[in-house]
Amino acid sequence: MTQKNKKILFFSIVLAFIIITPIIVLYSIGLRIDFKNKRIVQPGLIFVKTSPKNAQIYINEKNIKKTDFLFGSAEINNLLPNRYKVKIAKEGFQVWEKNLEVKEGLATEVKDIILFPEILSLNVFSKNIENFFIPPSNKSKIILQEKEINEIKEKSTDLNNWTLKIFDLNTNIKTPFISKENISKKDIELTNLFFSPDSKKILMETKEKVLTKKTTDKETFLTKYYIIETEKTPAFAVLVNYLNQNTTNIVFNPNDYQKILFLEDGKLKEIDLVKNLQPKILLENIISFTINNNNIYYLDSSGFTFKTDFSFSNTEKINDSNISLNKEAKYNIYVFNSFIFLKENDVLYLLNNEKKDFEKYFEPVKNIIVSYDYKKLLLFNDSEIWIIYLEDKNDQPYKKKGDKVFITRLSQKIENASWISSSYIIFNSENEIKIAETDDRDKINIFDISKNDKDIKYNNPKVIFNNFDKKLYILNEKTLYQSQKIIQ
């Protein structure tokens, strides 16, 4: 090698050393060079956690890694500050994807990813089902209202018989519970079931057909209520006197499940189910009431709302300006944490705690449902779904108490919506069932729940997610279907 070549090699090595050494030092202390923006930055990372586990992670369409088989989590490190297309996929499941921003030196987290089946496998759970109910505190049991066809009665003016049966998901045994014939020989229709908080008692609402003999035989119905003990099989239905078609706002006393509170003719009354005596009048001139944390919130005929406890010795007026009441309107009160709502027909008002006045908040609203963790509210009407945060959310996506998040708007009528976890909701729109996430970073992922049997045509089905077995129960045209687990 000539002297000249030696010098060239030497200076090349020195130059390489000068260039590479700072890069090595930068990498060793966790810094990177952003060549596009010509600056030195501290990289960020993306942390994901999925259910089911072992899901494949793609960053900008590049296959990176899988979430681990123990916790279903993974970190993608050394990402320059930028927006990245993140896709999570697993065979047999629908794809989750979102554009997420990675900031310098920070972690971007998506910890509540649920992948739902591409095809919903439905099995016939039971046939000839008129309705079904899942007790609030014992979701391992399903109460089925079965229709028993009686050929003789089917030819008469009588209603067909129905029977309540309890299906135990732990044992897969269906047990007769109580039937219409055990209650009355007359035609009665089951219209609703009210469960005590411990699910050990059921208040059954029925309509009994009465035939009036006048110039024409006109059918009328009387509303009657029966109390049933769920732990007794077969059960006995005991008529609850003093409850009738004028009774509204029925709730169990949270301090004594043997007692029921209700409204009747502007009076808040309480009845003892054991003694079954004349109801006790607690308050008068009442329009609506609710119970929250052993406090009674009520709206009276003066247009003011009040808060009191069950001793009725301490009463606090909630709003300083009275509400102009509409005699034809239906009013409901909802209390969640520090939020107090008043619903007038389909208009929702929120109490401004500083001004002590109700202000219009949302219109129209069909229903209000609190999440399992009591941190969010689901509001929906015929075409839109919204989420309200009841407290600060201190993990990503960060939210402030009172933040309102728009989920979706549809052209088809939304029949019902409910929670399946603290981060996902399920709803049915006419003949479709969908699941939506609540993470509003970038687009909101909405999944169509496609069924395995194309011959099943949904016709405004009743859909309930059971948190006990993580399955969907779908009542469609008197057949109750059960899905596979939709959350692993």
Whole-angstrom CA distances from 307 to 260, 336, 402 are 19, 14, 22
Kindly give the pairing relationship between strand 367-370 and strand 357-362.
Answer: unpaired
Give the model confidence (pLDDT) of 113-125 as tens digits: 999 999 999 999 9
Which one is predicted more confidently, 66 or 451?
66
What range does the domain containing 63 cover?
32-114
pLDDT of residue 26: 45
pLDDT of residue 193: 96
Give the model confidence (pLDDT) of 388-445 as tens digits: 999 999 999 999 999 999 999 999 999 999 999 999 999 998 789 999 999 999 999 9
Give the model confidence (pLDDT) of 311-327 as tens digits: 998 999 999 999 999 99
pLDDT of residue 154: 47
Q: Is residue 94 a part of any domain in this protein? A: yes
Q: Is residue 183 a part of any domain in this protein? A: no
Q: Is residue 416 a part of any domain in this protein? A: no
Q: What would the mean pLDDT of 77-104 be, rounded to a whole number? A: 95
CATH number, domain containing residue 107: 2.60.40.1120
Q: Looking at the predicted structure, is the pLDDT value of residue 8 above 90?
A: no
Q: Is residue 469 a part of any domain in this protein? A: no
Q: Is residue 90 a part of any domain in this protein? A: yes
Domain count, the chain: 1
pLDDT of residue 42: 85
Q: Looking at the predicted structure, is the pLDDT value of residue 196 above 60?
A: yes
What confidence tier does 33 reach under pLDDT thresholds 50, 70, 90? Answer: low
Q: Looking at the predicted structure, is the pLDDT value of residue 6 above 80?
A: no
Whole-angstrom Cα distance, residue 322 to residue 299? 10
Q: Is residue 467 a part of any domain in this protein? A: no
- Amino acid type, 179: S
Whole-angstrom Cα distance, residue 167 to residue 394? 41
The DSSP annotation for 199-248 comes to: SSEEEEEEEEEEEEESSSEEEEEEEEEEEEETTSSS---EE-TT--TTEE
Q: What would the mean pLDDT of 86-106 be, rounded to a whole number? A: 96
What confidence tier does 18 reach under pLDDT thresholds 50, 70, 90? Answer: low
Q: Is residue 465 a part of any domain in this protein? A: no
Whole-angstrom CA distances from 123 to 94, 170, 469, 479 are 20, 17, 15, 10
What confidence tier does 156 reach under pLDDT thresholds 50, 70, 90? Answer: very low
pLDDT of residue 153: 47
What confidence tier does 197 reach under pLDDT thresholds 50, 70, 90? Answer: very high
Q: What would the mean pLDDT of 342-366 be, rounded to a whole number? A: 96
Among 33-42, 129-138, 172-181, 415-424, where is mean pLDDT lowest?
A: 33-42
Give the model confidence (pLDDT) of 219-257 as tens digits: 788 999 999 999 887 889 999 989 998 999 999 999 999
pLDDT of residue 202: 96
pTM of the model: 0.88
Q: Looking at the predicted structure, is the pLDDT value of residue 155 above 50?
A: no
* Helices and strands in the chain, H and E counts: 3, 43
With beta carbons less than 8 A apart as the criterion, state whether 167 and 173 touch: yes
Among 148-162, 203-217, 279-293, where is mean pLDDT lowest?
A: 148-162
3 state DSSP class of 5:
helix
Which residues share a beta bridge with 212?
218
pLDDT of residue 157: 40
Whole-angstrom Cα distance, residue 44 to residue 29? 14
Q: Is residue 7 a part of any domain in this protein? A: no
What confidence tier does 212 reach under pLDDT thresholds 50, 70, 90? Answer: low
pLDDT of residue 233: 77
Q: What would the mean pLDDT of 283-301 be, rounded to a whole number? A: 96
With beta carbons less than 8 A apart as the criterion, state whether 147 and 162 touch: yes
Q: What would the mean pLDDT of 287-297 be, rounded to a whole number? A: 96
pLDDT of residue 200: 94
Q: What would the mean pLDDT of 352-365 be, rounded to a whole number? A: 96
